[in-house]
Amino acid sequence: MQYQIVGDTLPAVVCTLNVKESMITQNGGMAWMTPNMRMETTTNGGIGKAVGRMFSGEGMFQNIYTAEGGQGMISFASSLPGCIRAFTISPGRDMIVQKRGFLASEMGVTLSVFLQKKFGAGLFGGEGFIMQRLSGQGIAFVEFDGYVVEYDLQPGQQLVVDTGYIAAMDATCRMDIQQVPGIKNMIFGGEGLFNTVVTGPGKVYLQTMPMNKLAGAIQPYIVTSR
C-alpha cells in the first residue's frame, strides 16, 4: 500500500492498493475510490469488539475495502478542519488516540477500546474515560482537530496540557490529572478546574483546535430560528 495525504485544513489520504490488498475504515469513512474496490461490512472480531469500538466513539461495524482484478485506489477524508497523520503500528508500539480519532488503516491494525486506569484522569482530564487503542501491525491514519504539535518525552518528563488538546500518545505514556492551584485561578482563570498531566517516556501529539474549543468559538455566530 502506498499513500499520499492531500489538502490543508480539510485533508484526505489517498491510498493505492495492489491486487488483494485491503484497507479497513469506520462506517462511512470512504470518500472516493476506483470501481474495482470491493466493500465488505463486518463486525471485525465479533460482537464484543464491535461494542467496544462503539464505546470508543466508532460505529459497531467497519468496512473492509479490497482491490480486485488489479491495482485500486481509495481515499478517506477528514470529518473536521484539521490534519491527518500516518502512524506505523507494530508489536510493542501501540498508540492511544482520542475518541473518533481513527480514520482508516491496513488490515493488520486492530482498533479497540482503551480505558483510563485512573478514573480521575478519565472523568476530569478532558480526554474522556474511554479512548482508542491501535495495536497490531501496519499503517494507521488518525485525524486531528487543527494542527499537530509533537513532543518526545523522556522517562519521568511531564507535560501539563489543557482540556482536550491531547490527541494521541504512545502507549508507554501515562496520563493523570492535576487540579489548577488556587481558588481564584480556578474561578476566574478561564482554564477550568483541572489540567491533564502526561508523563513519559514516549511521544505525545497535541492538537491546536480541539472540537469543543471550535464549537465554543463558532457558537456566538450561530443564529437559531424560532
The length of the chain is 226
Question: Is the pLDDT reported for residue 160 higher than 90?
Answer: yes
Q: Give the architecture-level CATH label for domain 2-218.
A: 4-Layer Sandwich (3.60)
**What value does the mean pLDDT take over residues 47-58?**
52
Calculate ∠ Cα 92-83-198, nearest 5°. 45
pLDDT in tens, 95-145: 999 888 999 999 999 998 887 655 454 444 444 567 899 999 999 999 999
- Which pLDDT score, from 0 to 100, does residue 80 have? 84
If 0-12 CB within 10 Å is exposed, 13-18 middle and 19+ buried, where does residue 210 land?
Answer: buried
- Which pLDDT score, from 0 to 100, does residue 187 have? 45
Q: Which amino acid is at 62?
A: Q
At 26, is the pLDDT very low, low, confident or very high (cuts 50, 70, 90)? confident
- Which pLDDT score, from 0 to 100, does residue 218 have? 74
Bridge partners (DSSP) listed for residue 40: 64
Residue 48 in grid coordinates: 464484543
Of the candidate ranges 139-148, 191-200, 211-220, the one whose mean pLDDT is the lowest: 211-220
- Which pLDDT score, from 0 to 100, does residue 186 have? 44
- Euclidean distance between CA atoms 94 and 25, whole angstroms: 18
- List Cα–Cα distances, 123 to 110, 152, 162, 178, 196, in angstroms: 25, 26, 14, 12, 11
Which has the closest alpha carbon to 109: 127, 87, 79? 87
Domain extents for the chain? 2-218
Residue 77 in grid coordinates: 477524508
- Euclidean distance between CA atoms 90 and 161, whole angstroms: 27
Bridge partners (DSSP) listed for residue 44: none
